[in-house]
Structure 1
Amino acid sequence: MRASDRAYRTLLDEIQSGALAPGTVLGEVEQSARLGVSRTPLREALGRLVADGLVVQQSARVTVVTGIDADDIRELFELRRALEESAARMAAERADSASFADLADEFAHASLDGRSGLDAYYALIGRFDTALDAAVGNDYLTSALRTVRTHLVRVRRLARDNPDRLAASVAEHRLIAAAIAAHDADLAASATHVHLHNALESILHSIDASTGSATSPSVPVLVEGS
């Protein structure tokens, strides 16, 4: 792996995990020494993170981790809704039925017990996303989706795992996968719309609960789940 790729991956993981919190200053000299790379590959890595929207360049040698608030999350979900509903519709028109039928069955039997169950569930979502991208077969769309998913890792960390919401998310993913398998484009897009609405409201509700603020109208919500 190239030094710039290694530095990018390390910094990306640290930003997404919260190890590098919003507002953290990434000084070029300090980060080069910490990551064990020279300044040229570090600058390449930071440039990629700037393009991702995860850091902002404040000066020639100082970069800062960007923050994320309720308005950012709403805007992210506006883009996510446009992309994922289109992707679901296109996948329903183009996908191999068997692969999505298998995914629907996996969602139907998914267990959320313990940390291992949650890890397995998120891995299943990852496989679903990969299958969706392959079915769509549009590099421009899938590239945009990858950017959105990069930010979603940070957003999910702001929400708390809630058993009711996670169970609902499993059912929502099962319906989307089943609709794609059945080549029902309208149902696939509608089910995706409902899933994203519930996911957004639950994340905002979770942030409200942790900060005591009011970021969204009071509506019945569940809580997190991709």
Structure 2
Amino acid sequence: MRASDKAYEALRTDIVEWRLRPGAVLGEVEQAERLGVSRTPLREALARLVADGLAVQQRGRGAVVSDVSSEHVDDLFDLRRALEVESARIAARKAEPATFASLRSRFLEAGRCTGPETREAYYLLAGELDSCIDAAVDNPYIEQALRSLRVHLARVRRLAQDDPERLARSALEHAAIAEAIAARNPEVAAAATQLHLHHSLEHIKTHAGPREDTP
């Protein structure tokens, strides 16, 4: 892995996981020393973070971790609805039903087991559903847009904290999406996705607060 890629991946993960908070200054000397790279690849990594919208350039401060506000969340979900609802509709027309029938069963099981120890496994399962829908849609432009969007959504998800009751409901919503795709019903798949996104946004806006668990 190139030094600039190493620095980019490390900084992006730290931002998404809230180890680097909004407003944190990404000083070149400090970050290059921390990550064990020289300043040239570090600058390349910072430029990529700015292009991703995870950092902004401020006069006199350099690169700074970008803010997350309710307005940003609304904007992200406007784009998410446009991409994910249509993706579900397309996937229902093109997907292999058995793949999504299996995912439905696994989400139903996940909905019964959402303790702290299974939280990350649940997020991996949700990511698997995303990947299967992406593969069924088979549109590189949509996939690229979603890949960028999902980085920001992961950051927002952690802002809202992890609520076991919400995760259980979300698992059932994902199961409904997978079931509709397996049944090759585009409009039901789109409606199930729309409902899931509505509940997700309402939860985030209700529960988002300062991150007290990170230094």
Alignment TM-score, normalising by the size of structure 1? 0.88
Task: Give the 3-state SS of the residue equivalent to 1:57 in structure 2.
Answer: strand
Aligned to 1:147: 148
CA offset at residue 123 of structure 1?
Answer: 1.1
Mapped contact 1:103–1:174 kept (Cα < 8 A): yes
Identity %: 54
Find the residue that maps to 2:83 and give its secondary structure.
Answer: helix
Aligned to 2:84: 84
Distance 1:188 1:177 in 2: 8
Distance 2:60 2:151 in 1: 25
- 1:58 partner letter: Q
**What is the alpha-carbon distance in structure 1 between the residues aligned to residue 61 and residue 159 of structure 2?**
29
Matched letter for residue 49 of structure 2: L
- Offset of 1:113 from its aligned partner? 4.0
Aligned equivalents of 1:61 and 1:70: distance in 2?
A: 25
Indicate the residue corresponding to 2:200 in structure 1: 199
Tell me by how many angstroms 1:198 deviates: 0.4
Cα distance change, pair 90–155 in 1 and its aligned pair in 2 (3 A): same
Q: Determine the C-alpha separation between the residues in 1 that align with 2:130 and 2:56.
A: 28
Partner residue of 2:95?
Answer: 95
Q: How does 1:45-84 map to 2 (within 5 A)?
A: 45-59=45-59, 62-84=62-84
The letter for the 1-side match of 2:195 is: V
- Residue 101 of structure 2 aligns to a residue whose secondary structure is helix
Equivalent residue number for residue 22 of structure 1 = 22
Shift of 1:117: 1.5
Contact 1:28 1:61 in 2 (8 A): no
Distance 1:180 1:127 in 2: 14
Determine whether 1:104 maps to 2:104.
yes
Q: Say whether the 8 Å CA contact 1:112–1:121 is kept in structure 2.
A: no
Structure 1 residues 9 and 21, CA gap change in structure 2 (3 angstroms): same
Residues 209-224 of structure 1 aligned to structure 2 (within 5 Å) = 210=209
Partners in 2 of 1:102 and 1:60 — Cα distance? 53
Aligned length: 209
Amino acid at match of 2:194: H
Aligned to 1:190: 191
Any idea what the Cα deviations from partners look like across 1:172-223, whole Å, max 9, x if unmatched?
A: 100100111111000000000000000000110112xx47xxxxxxxxxxxx
C-alpha displacement of 1:48? 1.2
Query: What's the Cα RMSD here?
Result: 1.5
- More off after superposition, 39-48 vs 146-155: 39-48
2:164 aligned residue: 163
Q: Distance in 1 between matches of 2:159 and 2:27?
A: 26
Q: Runs ≥4 in structure 1, deviation > 4 angstroms?
A: none
User: 1-side partners of 2:206 and 2:183: how far apart?
Assistant: 34
1:221 matched to which residue of 2?
none
5+ unaligned residues in a row in structure 1: which ranges?
Answer: 212-226
CA separation in 1, counterparts of 2:197 and 2:100? 19
SS of equivalent to 1:116: helix
For the Cα contact (< 8 Å) 1:25–1:62, is it kept in 2? yes
| Unpaired runs of at least 5, structure 2 | 211-215
The offset of 1:116, in angstroms, is 2.2
Query: What secondary structure, in the 3-state scheme, does the structure 1 residue paired with 2:45 have?
Result: helix
Secondary structure of the residue that 1:63 maps to in structure 2? Answer: strand
